[in-house]
Amino acid sequence: MKKTIFIILTFCAFTAFAQESQAPLNKTTTAHRITTPPKIDGILSEAIWNTPPTFEGLTEYLPTFGVTETADEITKVWIFYDNSGIYIGAELTDKTRRIKREFTKRDDTGNADWFSVYFDTYKDGLNGYEFGVTSAGVQFDRRYSPISGSSGRGGGWGSGGDASWDAVWSSAVHIEDERWTVEMKIPYSAIRFSDLPEQKWGFNVQRYRRETRQELFWSPRRPDIENFISQWGTLEGIAGVTAPLLLSLSPYVAVAADHHTEAGWQSGFNVGADIKWGINQAFTLDAALIPDFGQVQSDPRVHNLTPFEVQYNEKRPFFMEGTELFSKGNYFYSRRIGGQPMNYYNIPLEANEVVKENPSESRLLNTIKFSGRTTGGLGIGVLNAITSNMYAVIQDTLTGDTRRHKTAPVVNSNVLVFDQSLKNNSYVSAVNASVLRADGAYNSDVMGLLFRFNDNNRRYYLQGQGTTSLFSHKDAGFSYTLRAGKARGAWQYYAENAFMDNKIDINDLGIQRERNLMKFTGNLSYNNYTPGSWYSRYNFAFSPTYTRRFLPGTYAQASLSANAMLLLKDYTMLRIAGTYAFHSKDFYEPKKEGRFYRMPHGIGGSFYLSSNYNKPVFVDATFGYEALLKNNENAYEVQLKPGFRVSQKVTIVLTSKLNNIFNNRGYYSRNSAPVGSAQDTVIFASRNRSIIENVVDGRFTFNNKMNITLAARHYVSKVKNKEFFLLNQQGDLESSNFMGREGEVYNLFYVDFLYTWRFAPGSELNLIWKNEINPQSIETLHDSYFRDISLLNTAPQRNLLTLKVIYYLDWMTIFRRL
């Protein structure tokens, strides 16, 4: 078996396929200085727009690479600048009059055409900015970096962008019968660049036609090249400009009313401010003084029976915006900051005492971010956050007296990053993540080194990551990952080796689910971007994995997986995936170091369908199935997600998911006796489980500055234990007379209602109402979903209403008015 896996991985790593791509064609254009700035109203009426365009005609990226625009859909672009910013004008012809223009919230392009410009101000082919506007006038902007993800338009390394980043800039659009026009002003305060007398930036322009799904670029983007940013052209001509003083203050006022069925009414009032200071042309300092995060949307909490923690997305703006430097290597999971106090569940109680109050989140005192990049391509980032002492309130039920017990000391969390850009879009990064606790509690320090080296043609690459973890109360740990592969052409592949010793731990501030392993992974993929008579494009991939335990050095698991995607001419997407898992030893399910559970061979598969989102009614559908072949354990999941575009301003999406698991064998309980001792006990249960989840997402947009979003979610997880087993030292299950609970039910319902009004650039008013019902009773297992719903009527509930107003104050604007 080991020889077979080794041969497959070697094949993936060192076999080249098909013909190589030609080098990307990078264009060059020039911006011209003006003395009188245009009015940003979307109408190209000023004299500067009557001059010949800076360039015209874009090249198609998808669905057919290389096709150029025809006269009836031509794009013309003008680029000017002055001492305050860059001005972009665009005329986008569409004589078919099929301009889609759905109104959405900011950073959501929706069912609309759009136009955007890209700037790589240090021209390193790694980092950049995007500023875009839809035909409905909705702004979106993004930061790009090597770790900005593969999600988003087109996929690929660095192409997804960080949409949480928001800059303050101006734009407007104007719609006519056979064209629409765009005006933008990108102030220098929105971007960072070098202090050279003459600027030379990476630059590109993109147009998206929603009706035909055409993506077009000025500097052609090849679909068979991984790095998106490296294919941008060059913008010259900007000279004699300096970044203005970047100093802005965003004070806020927040008021809240909180009502709980059992605790009654509470109210709150909070004031604070976000400060942004451009220390120089390269570096920016962001600080949040007395931050308030009461306006973030609810987490989609689940009933977690796995041995791994659930990772929720960050929703607090400060930790979402401009954090691409800190996201390298999973060393920084921002939800750790302000998370659950370390002794939340460890509260000593005397006789007749109960816990009256126990905050589940630590209170943030302040947070700062310092980040930027030098002319030599060195990126530096520092993030620091301090949380306060946290206390639980304990009450004596006989006397009524209360006392406080500290559940967390003051905590200082810090991330330091150095990221050096190299030639050929290569880079080397060093990261340090540390947590310091007061009162003699343990501290941690994690250090990481990451790199990626590309050859001259950016075709082949070698990338890796090495990590050490140091804790004040346990031994140091080490891990590494090394990957080599091919990132250009229709055929792409890589081979990867990962090692983690049994001491590595980055979870104090980062996120890590595995340790104590040696893993070998390969991937071979083929991507066809040339449309056929009935399809637009397709791809498929094959991936083997082989894992061994580090200590002791024994086999853990192996699997083979494959997936394929097909996009039809009518924009229906089909995706199919399958996995075969060989027999394995699961070292995580027993939730006790040194124990494992033997699992038989298994199979799994999934099918996904997504219809054309241009239609008023659209749907996503998923079906998945998996089974273990020897113990009659199987599961299936069905999810339907229909959407209804009621109008250009109203969209409703429904999600219904059913997941049934039969004869699942998993962890139930354990004791703390030493592994291998006569008292060492781990209990497993054979159980049936069903999960039903229904979600309603609604969006009503008044205009491009005002919108309402509504999210309602009901989630029910039921577990029925059928039989209990003793896990023996050989990893097998033996019959047991253990008597445990019949089962458990997790029943959750919440509603989030959010009204947002961006009444001025960088300023907004948010009104949010949250209602949550989470019955704690698990006394009865029943089969009726409607019974689960009826329990919500009598369960305790919480209603939270908050109003927050943020006002953006820019020093340069204030100075000009004085």
- pLDDT tens digits, 532-584: 999 999 999 999 999 999 999 999 999 999 999 999 998 899 999 999 999 99
C-alpha separations of 198 from 31, 194, 230 in Å:
12, 9, 21
User: Which pLDDT value is given to residue 125?
Assistant: 86
Contact yes or no for 514/493 (Cβ under 8 A): no
- Element spanning 10, H or E: helix 2-14
User: In this model, does residue 694 exceed pLDDT 90?
Assistant: yes
Average pLDDT over residues 74-103: 94
User: Which pLDDT value is given to residue 262?
Assistant: 76
HEC string of 759-810 equals EECCEEEEEEEEEEECCCCCCCCCCCHHHHHHHHHHCCEEEEEEEEEECCEE
Which SS3 state, helix, strand or coil, does residue 88 take? Answer: strand
User: In this model, does residue 161 exceed pLDDT 50?
Assistant: yes
Residue 469 has which token pair? 């973890």
529/728: higher pLDDT? 728
Other Cβ atoms closer than 10 A to 534: 9
Highest mean pLDDT: which of 78-92, 246-260, 362-376? Answer: 78-92
DSSP 198: B
Average pLDDT over residues 429-450: 96
Q: Let me know how long the chain is.
A: 818
Pairing status of strand 411-422 against strand 179-187: unpaired
Residue 414 has which token pair? 């810090």
Q: Would you report the helix, strand and coil content of the chain in percent, each value rounded to 5? A: 5, 55, 40
Measured between alpha carbons, how far is 335 from 597 in angstroms, rounded to an integer?
31
Measured between alpha carbons, how far is 758 from 428 in angstroms, rounded to an integer?
39
- Exposed / middle / buried, residue 314 (Cβ in 10 Å: 0-12, 13-18, 19+): middle
- Element spanning 5, H or E: helix 2-14
Pairing status of strand 555-568 against strand 517-528: unpaired
User: In this model, does residue 154 exceed pLDDT 80?
Assistant: no
- Element spanning 78, H or E: strand 75-81
Measured between alpha carbons, how far is 509 from 239 in angstroms, rounded to an integer?
43
User: Which pLDDT value is given to residue 654?
Assistant: 97
User: Which pLDDT value is given to residue 525?
Assistant: 97
Nearest to 596 by CA among 682, 677, 685, 501: 682
Measured between alpha carbons, how far is 536 from 558 in angstroms, rounded to an integer?
34
For 737-780, write each residue's pLDDT tens digit.
999 998 888 999 999 999 999 999 889 999 999 999 987 655 55
User: Which pLDDT value is given to residue 158?
Assistant: 43
Contact yes or no for 662/688 (Cβ under 8 A): yes
- Exposed / middle / buried, residue 743 (Cβ in 10 Å: 0-12, 13-18, 19+): middle
For the chain, the C-alpha Rg in angstroms (whole number) is 28
User: Which pLDDT value is given to residue 815?
Assistant: 60
Percent of the chain with pLDDT over 70: 93
Nearest to 599 by CA among 634, 636, 637, 557: 557
Contact yes or no for 202/225 (Cβ under 8 A): no
Band the pLDDT of 307: cuts 50, 70, 90.
very high
User: Which pLDDT value is given to residue 21?
Assistant: 40
Measured between alpha carbons, how far is 810 from 804 in angstroms, rounded to an integer?
20
Measured between alpha carbons, how far is 238 from 34 in angstroms, rounded to an integer?
11
Half-sphere exposure (Cβ direction) of 32: Cα atoms closer than 13 Å: 12
- Residue 156 dihedral angles phi and psi, to the nearest 5°: 105, 165
Residue 780 has which token pair? 């009865």
Measured between alpha carbons, how far is 227 from 245 in angstroms, rounded to an integer?
33
Measured between alpha carbons, how far is 505 from 444 in angstroms, rounded to an integer?
9
Contact yes or no for 211/100 (Cβ under 8 A): yes
Contact yes or no for 792/805 (Cβ under 8 A): no
Measured between alpha carbons, how far is 272 from 291 in angstroms, rounded to an integer?
6
Written as one string, the DSSP assignment of 337-374 is TT---TTTT-----TTEEEEE--SSPPEEEEEEEEEE-
Measured between alpha carbons, how far is 700 from 651 in angstroms, rounded to an integer?
7
Average pLDDT over residues 599-612: 96
User: Following CA atoms 149, 153, 156, 160 in sequence, which dihedral angle do they give, to the nearest 10 degrees?
Assistant: -20
Nearest to 103 by CA among 94, 89, 114: 114
DSSP 190: G
User: In this model, does residue 728 exceed pLDDT 50?
Assistant: yes
Measured between alpha carbons, how far is 162 from 783 in angstroms, rounded to an integer?
43
Other Cβ atoms closer than 10 A to 1: 10
Residue 90 has which token pair? 């665009």
Other Cβ atoms closer than 10 A to 570: 11
User: Which pLDDT value is given to residue 333?
Assistant: 94
User: Which pLDDT value is given to residue 781?
Assistant: 65
Nearest to 231 by CA among 21, 430, 374: 21
Measured between alpha carbons, how far is 613 from 108 in angstroms, rounded to an integer?
14
C-alpha separations of 216 from 54, 102, 135, 179, 212 in Å:
17, 20, 16, 16, 11
User: In this model, does residue 23 exceed pLDDT 70?
Assistant: no
Measured between alpha carbons, how far is 515 from 510 in angstroms, rounded to an integer?
14
User: Which pLDDT value is given to residue 25?
Assistant: 60
User: Which pLDDT value is given to residue 227?
Assistant: 78
Least confident of 578-592, 597-611, 773-787: 773-787
Band the pLDDT of 22: cuts 50, 70, 90.
very low
Measured between alpha carbons, how far is 464 from 477 in angstroms, rounded to an integer?
17
Which SS3 state, helix, strand or coil, does residue 12 take? Answer: helix
User: Which pLDDT value is given to residue 774?
Assistant: 85
Which SS3 state, helix, strand or coil, does residue 678 take? Answer: coil
User: Which pLDDT value is given to residue 43?
Assistant: 95
Measured between alpha carbons, how far is 183 from 178 in angstroms, rounded to an integer?
17
User: Which pLDDT value is given to residue 293?
Assistant: 64
Band the pLDDT of 5: cuts 50, 70, 90.
very low
Mean pLDDT for all residues in the chain = 89
User: In this model, does residue 586 exceed pLDDT 80?
Assistant: yes
Contact yes or no for 164/154 (Cβ under 8 A): no
Measured between alpha carbons, how far is 587 from 589 in angstroms, rounded to an integer?
6
User: In this model, does residue 149 exceed pLDDT 70?
Assistant: no
- Exposed / middle / buried, residue 457 (Cβ in 10 Å: 0-12, 13-18, 19+): middle
User: Which pLDDT value is given to residue 314?
Assistant: 85
Highest mean pLDDT: which of 21-30, 184-193, 491-500? Answer: 491-500
Band the pLDDT of 157: cuts 50, 70, 90.
very low
User: Which pLDDT value is given to residue 13?
Assistant: 39
Contact yes or no for 71/229 (Cβ under 8 A): no
